[in-house]
Structure 1
Amino acid sequence: MNAQCLTLNAPRSRCRRGLIVAAAALSGILLWTAFPPSSQADSAWMALVPVMLVIRHCAPRAAAGWAWLAGLIFWVATLSWFPAIIKNGGPWPLVLLGQLGLAAWCAAFLAAYAFASSRVWRWAGRSPGWRRVCAVLCVDPLLWAGSELARGWLFSGFAWNFLGVSQVNNLPFIQVASVAGVYGVSALVVAVNGAVASIVERAAAPFAARLAVSASEAPVTRPGVGGRLLLSSESMLPVALAVFCWYWGMQRIQYARRLNDQAAVWHVALVQPNSPCVFTLDDDTVRNQQEVLVNQTRLAGAARPDLVVWPETAVLGSVPYEPDTLRVIREGAAAAGAPLLTGALEIERTTVSSTAPQGLLYYNAAWLYSATGEVLGRYRKHHLVPFGEYIPLDKRVPALQRLAPTGVSCTPGRDSGVLHVARASGGTLALGPLICFEDTVPALSRAAVRAGARLLVLMTNDAWFNGSVEPLQHLDQSIFRAVENGVPLVRAANSGVTCAVDAVGRVMRLESKGKATDFDGFLVTQVAVADTPLAAPYTRWGDRVLGLPGAALLLALMAAGARRPGAARMGPVEERTDGEET
């Protein structure tokens, strides 16, 4: 009899493994379709279902391995814009290695979630009960939020394409971000995925029972009235919560419209020069692009803007000691007849030291000039991109600074960056500058608004990724910073996407012939800026609501599981009649 069972189990084991691989691959592919270029946001509501079923029926380390595979498929596909750096002059071996390494690293956080979730589902069991309801409605969403927070913070973080970002066009639903950040939107999507996974489990239960290995197993008992009620709650409560959040979001959007009618209106000109990647610049190109920058600004000045914004490193030179760069800035400000906020490389003279071997410090900065060319303020970028703006440990090992791809190793800024612009007709506008990928870091936007900023201003240069989907994905991250803090955001991008985003996430963007990227132009837009931001508890509470508790729970479950020898077993979760797991 045992020999016969072994003979029957072999093909079933291979079939089971094939189904698990297919489930992991399907989840990875569905997640990818939820983001640009496909932007099929609806697929996010079921993308996790296959891998969730694997998590619920595998031991923790096995679940983590299969989830890592799903994550790897997703991240390799969603980072498809990395090879654009090769086309724009980047070294192809390092670019491809970077794409694969970053994909594997980000997939590890999905694996961490799966490991912890599998342990939770061992506790929840297979039978209907309050534990399963709690796992679907609370614990799984909390763990997912914690894994996203960890990914966005650990080792400077990569806060890109959180699950909630897939819903960027579902305006009522993303208003949840004003309470719990983008992590709150992700958590709700995870809860609905869990509800769908439970429905699939129940539908598949009779078929699974027929495929039982031993004919002597006890027949599957049907739950009573209480069990059926709990089963319904397991699926219906997350859906009901999502519907409630959608309705509440609709009310918030309607209130925002009424608030905008009472807000001061500022005319902001956003210039998009479409300069080529830094790897392909020469002296002639720099002069031509500076002319484009000033000419576009002169055209925008016809609309008499209150503020002009140029993108990150738009002047293709340094301040404050380079006369030609200062001439371009003053010419642009005079052409617009308005204050000018521009991105530039800032050089600071200092004493020679191990961190500044040449007696110079470099900053990726934003400088604000008056219409007559006087300096009104500056902001130095806080959150630098590793291997782009600096090499890790290069301040301790100065020789590493020579490896920086832009030729200089930047130093992070420390001071608060809120800048102020006044206009002759009355009123002062408080700006919160952000540079490049700083719009992916919720804490920076939150800190700016808490310091008094009422308009977030992003300056970015995505020319490294020209011709790819990266600018569209980057835009989606920006939109959440406006919703999370209840303030508008304007975005000046070197090659796109240049746009204005209101406090609830509605976007007005610069387009040419149906395209939003890879052309030069300008956008003059009216921005309603209220003295008091739209109510957004997330600005005050931050990640204490969801992200930090989720990260703490994730860490606790992983630590406890690592100490338990049984967590290492590779195989399905089975329950004995006495409640023990095998």
Structure 2
Amino acid sequence: MVAGILASAALSALYARGGAGWLLGFVMLAPWLFTLNASRTLAATLGCAYLMSLAFTAAVFPWFGIALGRYTQTGAGIGLAVLLLAAPLFQPQFLAFALVRHVAGRRHGPLLRALAAAAAWVAAEWLLPKLLGDTLGYGLYPSRLMRQGAAIGGGAGLTVLLLLANEGIVAALARRRDGWRAIAQPFALAALGPLLLAGYGLAVLPDKDSSVVAGKPLRVGLVQANLVDYEGMRRHKGARAVVQEVLATHFAMSYDAVVRRHAEVVLWSETAYPTTFGHPKSAAGAEFDREILANVRAAGVPFVFGTYDIDSDGEYNAAAFVQPGAGLTGLYRKTRLFPFTEYVPEWLDGPRLRQLLPWTGNWRAGNGARVFPLRLADGREIPVLPLICLDDVDAGLAITGARLGAQAIVTMSNDSWFSTDPEGARLHQTVAAFRSIETRLPQVRVTTNGYSAVFDASGSQLAGTRMGEPALVIADVVPSQPAPTLMVRWGDWVGRAACAFLLLLAARATIPSWRSEGEGATSPAQPAMRFPVRVAVLPPAARFAAALLRALARAGLLGICVALLLNEPLRTNTLAQIRLFSGLFLAPEIASWCVLLAFAAQASIDGAALVLTRGAQRIELALGEIASVELWRLPIPAAGLALRLASGQRWHYGLALANPMAFAAALGLEQEQPGAVMGVYARARLALRRRKLDLPLAKFVLLPLALAIPAFHLHQHIAYGSAFGEYYTFGLKAYLTAFALWWAAWSIGVVLSAALLRAAIEAGTLMAALLRPAQVVAVRSWLERAGRLALYLGLPGWLLANLYGA
């Protein structure tokens, strides 16, 4: 096991270094997969996954721990130790992959197991966005052909193909002794991913010899000033002198870009101007603002640079758009902040934490992607999408910008904390390049001290800089409005599709238990009754009260459905829905349950007597005194039966319980059915066993949760620009409250859908009892199956259709 894990970690390290190492991506996990195949127990599988997450982090991301330790001034060793300690949280996909692979392998063959495990990998990365936004697919960037597949499925889609290729290699090697025919199929699976990616890349990439250029190029100038230690400079020179030096350096390089190199727009890096712009904090700040405006007017071209913004809520990491003559035309506020460096969650913040982590900032998050116009000297107006630092790891922001009409992406970053560990800066640039592939938009990316670059719509680097040196990059990019890629049309869809696939697979696992559901239409087999059994011993008044309350609750559900159909504002008012649901359904339902609880007892057979006990109370009824049992015509407030005594009279109390037919069989009594149609209907309701998917936990808790998560995820991206946008903006309490409301809304929707389906099932059963009494159990069995499919597949399908159309 250790050898397999170390081998995969070593191959992963070579793969992550780039260059020709991208070829290793199709085999690098094979040694680890062999160890998973040898792990027979779940505990061994999870242990193997934990060790792999640890080894992978140590092999591929040691630079991150070292950089973290240096940035926080705790030392490289401490930073690396913390990273390794948090490896399962940093790379949780290994645990999800191994868990699902193990469970699926018990029930399915190698192909479905591989698909389920790959889906679990990308679903985990989608549900738990990683700090650096990394995924295996980004390692294919060195291959110009292979990386084009990101336009269809993003980095997650490439990851799925890599995982399937690794699974195919392992399956083929496991069958190597069975001859070439046995290994042909898994080898074909392994080769399918590379062939598909290469074929797609050849189909979409333009001919290198083609000289056709669509539209007039935009000449950009990127200023990489290589000024990084602002804080150290302040301590030695003072704040005013530092700002003067920073501006002087940038002005000089910008002059060179505009006057000598004829740039049409000038870009500075993230936080290049180390104070607020447009809202000066002091007279010196206002003077510096005027100096920038004067230089922009003199240059005659628009400037875009990193700065800060401020309002009554706090301060923001921002990008300023300044036009000659017009001045400041807009400020983009960074959406994705780096935790514990740029911000601290409000619920965790406090003086003690600030004292323990003095480097933490207190910036606020922006509200998502925005598109700004660049007005050039020749009269052209080019809409561009600005992204700051960690924004470029979020495919959703780039996709939103493309939908808003952006014709180019402007990315700015400060990767100076990777100065001694350039692997981090290189990974960041690679991830940023994928935003161009996914949207087919060119991108200009400027950083403080490297790597700065210009990318075309295929993700190819047209120009770039080295790390740790001042540099001026001049390049021509062609703004365009390309046809929307699948990623732009559907969004980052692979993670959502993976979640849906896993849900369907889980639902499929229950289908075999449905097959014999309708057998024995005339005399269905009943499971043996195990005593004691829980019953409710109901006098007529108590049964009437409980039945009335439950009937009111069911009528309330149908009333809510009608109200939602007729009242459009109610459909978007979650709080009003909760109030209606609580008043019309929950209140009478809980009251009915309380009545049943008040008369609850334990039923058992003691010798020749039926014994009902509740605490110290005890009722005994000799079996010889009971002539027969009669099922209730209507199963309200629950299924139940009445006892017919030998004297011909009914016993004063009725018994409500889950399975009255099995109860009667256990007593060895005859079952009477007064009323032909209602009797057949009652028997049909009790003939079918309750399935796991019918349990309230699965139907009304887990299913709404599974539906609420992707819907809430999309809402966060639309309303706040990222998966945790509301959390970054308003804190954990607001974020959890919002999610709870979404969960509640979906729970209400599922309950209402189930109520409508239940009404249809009962009506269909009653009709069958009237017209085809001999087939009523079979008819009800099919109706129950159709209801489960409508609920567990129909609702997710409806949600996916709406998500894909978003």
Structure-2-length-normalised TM-score:
0.57
Q: Offset of 1:279 from its aligned partner?
A: 4.7
Question: Does 1:194 find its partner at 2:179?
Answer: no
- For each residue in 1:168-210, what CA deviation from the matched residue of structure 2 results, as whole angstroms up to 9, or x when unmatched? 011111111111111111111111111111122123xx5xxxx
Q: Name the CA shift for 1:54/1:477 in 2 (closer, same or farther; >3 Å).
A: same
Cα distance change on mapping 1:386 and 1:257 into 2, 3 Å: farther
Q: Is the alpha carbon distance of 1:406 and 1:504 closer, same or farther for their aligned partners in structure 2, counting shifts above 3 Å?
A: same
2:127 corresponding residue in structure 1: 150
1:35 to 16, 40, 52: 16
Match of 2:496 in 1: 548
1:151-300 equivalence runs, <5 A: 151-152=128-129, 157-203=130-176, 231-254=183-206, 261-282=213-234, 283=238, 284-300=241-257
1:503 corresponds to which of 457, 477, 481 = 457
Q: CA offset at residue 395 of structure 1?
A: 8.3
Say yes or no: does 1:45 pair with 2:29: no
What residue is the counterpart of 1:580 in the other structure?
Answer: none
Alpha-carbon shift at residue 336 of structure 1 (Å) = 3.7
- Structure 1 residues 310, 335: closer, same or farther in 2, change over 3 A? farther
The alpha carbon displacement at 1:160 in A equals: 3.3
Shift of 1:409: 0.4
Q: What are the equivalent positions in structure 2 for 1:321-336 lying under 5 Å apart? A: 321=280, 322-334=285-297, 336=299
- CA distance change for structure 1 residues 337 and 95 in 2, over 3 Å: closer, same or farther? farther
Q: 1:466 to 1:499 in 2, by over 3 A?
A: same
Which of the numbers 458, 469, 485 marks the counterpart of 1:536? 485
Please tell me whether the aligned partners of residues 503 and 534 of structure 1 are also in contact (alpha carbons under 8 angstroms): no
Pair 1:308-2:261 in alignment: no
Is contact 1:344-1:367 (8 Å) kept?
yes
8 Å CA contact 1:36, 1:472 repeated in 2: no
The answer to which structure, 1 or 2, has the higher relative contact order (CA under 8 A, 6+ apart) is 1
Q: Deviations over 1:224-282 (max 9, x none)?
A: xxxx7564222213413421321221121127986961133111111111122455341
Instruction: Please give the alpha-carbon distance, in whole angstroms, between the structure 2 residues aligned to 1:145 and 1:524.
Output: 38
CA contact (8 A) 1:459 1:493 kept: yes
Change (3 A) 1:428 1:113: same
Aligned partner letter, 1:112 = A
CA contact (8 A) 1:33 1:39 kept: no
Which has more helix, going by share of residues?
2
Aligned: 1:475 with 2:429: yes
Kept in 2: contact 1:109–1:147 (CA 8 A): yes
Q: 1:276 to 1:396 in 2, by over 3 A?
A: closer
Change (3 A) 1:88 1:387: closer
Deviation readout 1:428-452 (Å, 9 max, x if unpaired): 1111111111111111111111111
Deviation, 1:44, is 1.5
State the shift of 1:103 in Å. Answer: 2.9
The correspondence of residues 65-84 of structure 1 with structure 2, limited to 5 A, is: 65-82=47-64, 83-84=66-67
Structure 2 letter corresponding to 1:178? A
Gap runs ≥5 in structure 1? 1-19, 125-130, 207-221, 351-355, 564-582
Q: Distance in 2 between matches of 1:94 and 1:37?
A: 27
Conserved 8 A contact 1:61-1:115: no
Deviates more, 1:74-83 or 1:476-485: 74-83
Residue 24 (1) aligns with residue 5 (2):
yes
CA distance in 1, matches of 2:141, 2:507: 34
Alignment partner for residue 523 of structure 1, among 473, 478, 481? 473
Cα offsets for 1:288-309 (capped at 9, x unmatched)? 3332211111111122222111
Aligned-partner SS, 1:247: helix
Identity of aligned residues (%): 23
Alignment pair present for 1:409 and 2:392: no
Distance in 1, matches of 2:355 and 2:425, equals 28
Shift of 1:151: 3.7
* Change over 3 Å in CA distance of 1:305–1:541 after alignment to 2: same
Please state how far the C-alpha of 1:385 moved relative to its aligned partner.
1.1
Q: Secondary structure at the match of 1:171?
A: coil
Q: Distance in 1 between matches of 2:471 and 2:501?
A: 48
* Inter-partner Cα distance in structure 2 for 1:21 and 1:495: 40
Q: 1:101 to 1:378 in 2, by over 3 A?
A: farther
Deviations 1:301-359 (A, max 9, x none): 122222111111001222221224414532552454310111112122x2xxxxx6xxx
Equivalent position of 2:309 in the other structure? 346
Counterpart of 1:90 in structure 2 is: 73
Q: CA deviation at 1:553?
A: 4.8
What secondary structure is seen at the aligned counterpart in 2 of 1:254?
coil
* Corresponding residue to 2:444 among 490, 501, 507: 490
List per-residue Cα deviations over 1:514-571 (Å, max 9, x = no partner).
Answer: xx111111111100111x2254111110233x2112235558889999x9xxxxxxxx
Q: Quick check: 1:116–1:557 contact (8 Å CA) kept in 2? A: no
Q: Distance in 2 between matches of 1:61 and 1:556?
A: 25
Residue-by-residue CA offset, 1:351-403 (whole Å, 9 max, x unaligned): xxxxx6xxxx1101111001246011111111111111101225875875677
Asked if the contact 2:272–2:306 (Cα under 8 Å) also holds between the matched residues in 1, the reply is yes
Give the 3 Å change call, closer, same or farther, for CA 271–550 of structure 1 in structure 2. same
Q: Which has the larger radius of gyration?
A: 2
- 1-side partners of 2:357 and 2:347: how far apart? 9
- Cα distance, 1:147–1:407 mapped onto 2, change above 3 Å: closer
Say yes or no: does 1:367 pair with 2:340.
no
User: Structure 1 pair 520/260, CA: closer, same or farther in 2 (3 Å)?
Assistant: farther
The aligned counterpart of 2:371 is 418
State the superposition RMSD in angstroms: 3.0
* Per-residue CA distance 1:403-444 (angstroms, 9 max, x = gap): 775564011111642100122323211111111111111111
Give unmatched runs, 5+ long, in structure 2.
510-691, 693-806
In the alignment, residue 310 of structure 1 is paired with which amino acid?
W
Mapped to 1, the partners of 2:463 and 2:398 lie a distance apart of 21
Moved more, 325-334 or 236-245: 325-334
Within 5 Å, give how 1:564-575 maps onto structure 2.
none
Do the aligned partners of 1:270 and 1:492 also contact (CA within 8 Å) in 2? yes
Q: Cα–Cα, structure 1 residues 394 and 339, in superposed 2: closer, same or farther, change >3 Å?
A: farther
| Partner Cα distance (1:521, 1:372) in 2 | 28
Superposed, 1:408-447 pairs within 5 Å as 408-414=361-367, 416-447=369-400
Q: Distance in 1 between matches of 2:138 and 2:428?
A: 10
Alpha-carbon contact 2:19-2:142 (below 8 Å) kept: no
Aligned 8 A contact 2:18 2:142 in 1: no
